[in-house]
Each structure stands twice: as structure tokens, then as C-alpha cells.
Amino acid sequence: MSGCTSPGKCPNCETDVEVYDDWKPVNYSMQNCVNCGLVLFPAQAYETLETLNTRRVEHNEMMEDEEDWVPLEPYTQEEFDKIERTWCYFTEVEDERFFLPK
């Protein structure tokens, strides 16, 4: 493993916990509380077309004062469907704002 551990506090019960941080294959943190059982870990999913386009609009609004910023256009359904989505490392999450590639 490439990461390291550090002390932390459980956000639920305030008990001391060990937090594991890693940077391979991407930056992430995990922790689990032996007192209340709360587990915090990375999960993965891909945003739906509607959610992704909303985030692109919000990103454009945030960046509009940057000199050399090129706005992100909304994806069409056809463009969205062509995006390759093969990366899988973390636990997959199910939520209506996201989808899992088949």
C-alpha cells in the first residue's frame, strides 16, 4: 500500500478513529469507527447526462472571470453516449443522480 494512517474523530460519535489516506490510484481517504460502526470510504458512479450538464453550467459560472477560460458546452445525448466509462476501483454506488456503466 502506498498510503498512511493518521488520527481522526468519528463524525457520528466523536470517538478517536484511524484515518487511512492514499494517493494511488487516486487521492482518497477511508475510516471506520469501532465504537458506532460508521464506515466512510470512497464510492464511484458516473453522473447522468442531466446531472453532468448541470455541473458543467455551474463550472462555467464559477470560471467565467478567468481570462483564458473556454466554456464547456452541454453534451448532447449522442456525445454523452460516446464517452468511455471503464474505470472501476472503488465500491459502486447507486443513486438516481448517477448510473453504473453496464
Are 23 and 58 part of one and the same domain?
Answer: no
For position 97, what pLDDT does the model report? Answer: 63
| Tally of domains within the chain | 2
What pLDDT sits at residue 1? 58
Q: Say yes or no: 34 and 21 in one domain.
A: yes
For 52-97, the pLDDT digits (tens) are: 999 999 999 999 888 888 999 999 999 999 999 888 777 766 666 6
Partner residues linked to 39 by β-bridges: 32
Q: What is the mean pLDDT of residues 26-47?
A: 88
- Distance between start and end Cα atoms, the chain: 29
β-partners of residue 29 are: 21
Residue with cell 478567468: 66
Percent of the chain with pLDDT over 90: 57
What is the span of the domain harbouring residue 8? Answer: 4-41
- Residue 30 and residue 23 in contact, taking contact as beta carbons nearer than 8 Å: no
Check whether residue 58 and residue 84 sit in a common domain.
yes
91 and 50 both lie in a single domain: yes
Strands (E), the chain: 4-9, 16-22, 28-32, 39-40, 43-44, 46-47, 91-92, 98-99
The mean pLDDT value of the chain amounts to 88
